[in-house]
A = this chain, B = another copy of it.
Amino acid sequence: MGADSKAGQGGESLLFLTDEQLRKGIEAMFFAYRAFTADPDRILENYDYGRAHHRAIHFIHRQPGLTVNALLGTLGVTKQSLNRVLRTLVDDGLVEARVGRRDKRERNLFLTEKGALLERELSDAQRARMRAAYRAAGPAAVAGFRQVLEAMMDPDIRRQYQAIKDGAA
């Protein structure tokens, strides 16, 4: 719909940037994001963890050995906030915090086997929904989806995001 449909309700033939169209995009973000977090949220309940734990686990998995400071930057929260979460994960044996080799002040974060297991469970659920959405929408839509999301990010974060783009593997 949209850009090229001349008829329709709002006559947004070429101009697809009407307030109405933009409002629809805004709502789509809200509803989709809620669905996107719903599956992991359900799983996390069983473990008495929250979304904050999920995010920490995700990024430690993505970049094993990253420091607390680096994780802080990625998540955009305070160290006190992250510490609370990280402590429970370490105490519960999901995350290992090794003293840095070069710099002994730093802690390099890794998932334990137990942590990797939960990561799998969470990301499996999230990937399943994402995969279904991708399949339903098709390859061209997926490319557009990613393009718009990237354009929406703050530049600093976008650079960080693209840096790991297909690396980290």
Residues in B neighbouring A153, C-beta threshold 8 A:
28, 31-32, 35
Contact across chains for B130 and A26 when beta carbons are under 8 A apart = yes
Residues in B neighbouring A16, C-beta threshold 8 A:
134, 139, 142
Contact across chains for B161 and A27 when beta carbons are under 8 A apart = yes
* Min C-beta distance of A13 to chain B, whole Å: 8
Residues in B neighbouring A14, C-beta threshold 8 A:
139
Contact across chains for A31 and B157 when beta carbons are under 8 A apart = yes
Binary interface encoding of chain A residues 1-41 relative to chain B, with 1 for a CB under 8 A from any of its CBs, else 0: 11111001110101011011011111111111111101000
A88 at the interface (CB under 8 A from B): no
Contact across chains for B154 and A38 when beta carbons are under 8 A apart = yes
Contact across chains for A123 and B26 when beta carbons are under 8 A apart = yes
Binary interface encoding of chain A residues 111-132 relative to chain B, with 1 for a CB under 8 A from any of its CBs, else 0: 0000000000001001101111
Within 8 A of B (CB), among A52-81: 55, 58, 62, 76
Residues in B neighbouring A142, C-beta threshold 8 A:
2-3, 12, 16, 25, 144, 148
CA distance A8 to B165 in the complex (A): 11
CA distance A19 to B126 in the complex (A): 11
